[in-house]
Structure 1
Amino acid sequence: MNTVLVVDDDSEIRDIIHVYLRNEGYHVIEAADGLKALDIIKTTSIQLVILDVMMPRMDGIMACIKIREISNTPIIMLSAKEEDIDKITGLTTGADDYMIKPFNPLELLARVKAQLRRQSLMGNEEFNSLILIKDLIIDKTKHSVTLKGNHISLTPLEFSILELLASHPGQVFSTEKIYESVWKEPYGYSDNTVMVHIRNLREKIEEHPREPKYIKTVWGVGYKIE
């Protein structure tokens, strides 16, 4: 049974998360601040940490730094702050994921499952052939894609575009660069070929293709996957 440590100074939030995790079969331990969380991690086998940013005694950012000194346990950070700098700070200090309060408990639960699944795969020798992004798993060796456990059928070109973007998270690729990387020929003229394939990809992997959470458009520049 996986044990999840929930660290938040708000007891009501801890209780809500506890109920949802317990109903999914997880063992849950609670802590009200970063110092207590560190004590627990040093003495208890923890498979995942849900860590609030704003807490007394030791905040979540410092707790994340301290946890990373002794453990590679996945960390999902929670914060009421929405500024990008807070997200960047959390992730660069070692967090694996980040959610803004107020959050949907079911979405948090899905992210917990994704992080635990990633952690279990890391012990597999085939892990290096996999790219995991949220609920999307791309197997480069088998040229297969699964979303929330369901197989997604892609054409070879669609798969190559997805693999290119997913292999470089955060990097923006222009239409020209995607074309030359995937089609292996000079981009010599402007057409809608790449855009059409991106649209088809979104129809297959995005729950709401017009509001994509995987393949993002950077207007005037190109496409990227976070």
Structure 2
Amino acid sequence: MTRVLVVDDEPQIVRALVINLRARSYEVDAAHDGASALELAAARHPDVVLLDLGLPDMDGTDVIKGLRGWTKVPIIVLSARHASDEKVEALDAGADDYVTKPFGMDELLARLRAAVRRADPVGAETGEAVVTTASFSVDLVAKRVTRGDSDIRLTPTEWHLLEILVRNAGRLVSQKQLLKEVWGPAYGTETNYLRVYLAQLRRKLEIDPAHPRHFITEPGMGYRFEQ
């Protein structure tokens, strides 16, 4: 079943979207500000995001950029802003489509269906659904980590951190981005969280945790996953 994240601070619009989407058998989560949207997206992994740009705590383009740091989920902007430069800014930030308010529900639903059809399959960020190293394998679809024939048990937080790094294999992921995506915008400076959880991942997955091969620290900047 397709999961939709609705992000808008206007209760009547959220209500209308939730009712219409659920009537068509979509699963729906709703957020009324940017911080909640990023937290819900990280926790629920929606298949498509409907996003208003005029949020009370941050601009919608910042939400787009936050999502694009770790996922290619289709993002359809819903906005009363008509200026072409604002549309261009949202699309350049990573939005897939732009619908101007007021909008017709039938048109929006058609655009949503089209966005889902165009979406990359799960695992597209890495180009594959199963990532295999010399030490372990990560199945991004089944959300499963194995070493040989044994499953490696990870906590939800450990999995989320691992998934972001694996989906960005070979690329530096900043401390701020990891903290924001895993714990939320309010934790942007809690770098000790990363040290603790990366140490746990290394203990569970690295052959020699003291000399990691796969989870590389870039001092003062962030972390990188290498196969």
With the shorter chain as reference, the TM-score category is 0.5 to 0.7
Partner of 2:32: 32
Q: What residue is the counterpart of 2:119 in the other structure?
A: 119
Note the C-alpha offset of 1:41: 1.2
Residue 16 of structure 2: aligned partner:
16
The reply to whether residue 86 of structure 1 matches residue 91 of structure 2 is: no
Rounded to whole Å, the distance in 2 between the matches of 1:87 and 1:98 is 7
Cα separation, 2, equivalents of 1:83 and 1:57: 21
For 1:150-189, what aligned pairs fall within 5 Å after superposition? none
Q: Which residue is 2:147 aligned to?
A: none
Matched, 1:51 2:46: no
For 1:73 and 1:116, the matched residues in 2 are separated by: 9
Deviation at 1:45, TM superposition (A): 2.1
Corresponding residue number in structure 2 for 1:65: 65
Q: Deviations 1:185-220 (Å, cap 9, x if unpaired)?
A: xxxxxxxxxxxxxxxxxxxxxxxxxxxxxxxxxxxx
The 3 A distance-change label for structure 1 pair 116 and 82 is: same
Residue-pair matches, total: 124
Seq. identity, % = 40
Q: Once the two structures are superposed, what CA deviation does each residue of 1:9-53 show, in whole Å capped at 9, x if it has no partner?
A: 001001111111111110000000111000011111210100000
The residue aligned with 2:105 is: 105
One-letter amino acid of the structure 1 residue matched with residue 65 of structure 2: I
- CA offsets, 1:156-200, max 9 Å, x none? xxxxxxxxxxxxxxxxxxxxxxxxxxxxxxxxxxxxxxxxxxxxx
So what's the TM-score if we normalise by structure 1? 0.52
Q: Give the residue type in structure 1 aligned to 2:44.
A: T
1:7 and 1:49 in contact (8 A); partners too:
yes
Q: Give me the whole-angstrom Cα distance separating, in 2, the residues matched to 1:112 and 1:77.
A: 11
The 5-angstrom pairing of residues 182-197 of structure 1 reads none
Query: What is the CA–CA distance in structure 1 between the aligned matches of 2:57 and 2:113, rounded to whole Å?
Result: 29
Structure 2 spans left out of the alignment, 5+ residues: 125-227
Q: Which residue of 2 aligns with 1:3?
A: 3
**Partner Cα separation in structure 1 for residue 61 and residue 75 of structure 2:** 11
Amino acid in the other structure paired with 1:103: F
What's the TM-score, normalizing by structure 2? 0.52
Structure 1 gap segments, 5+ residues each: 125-226
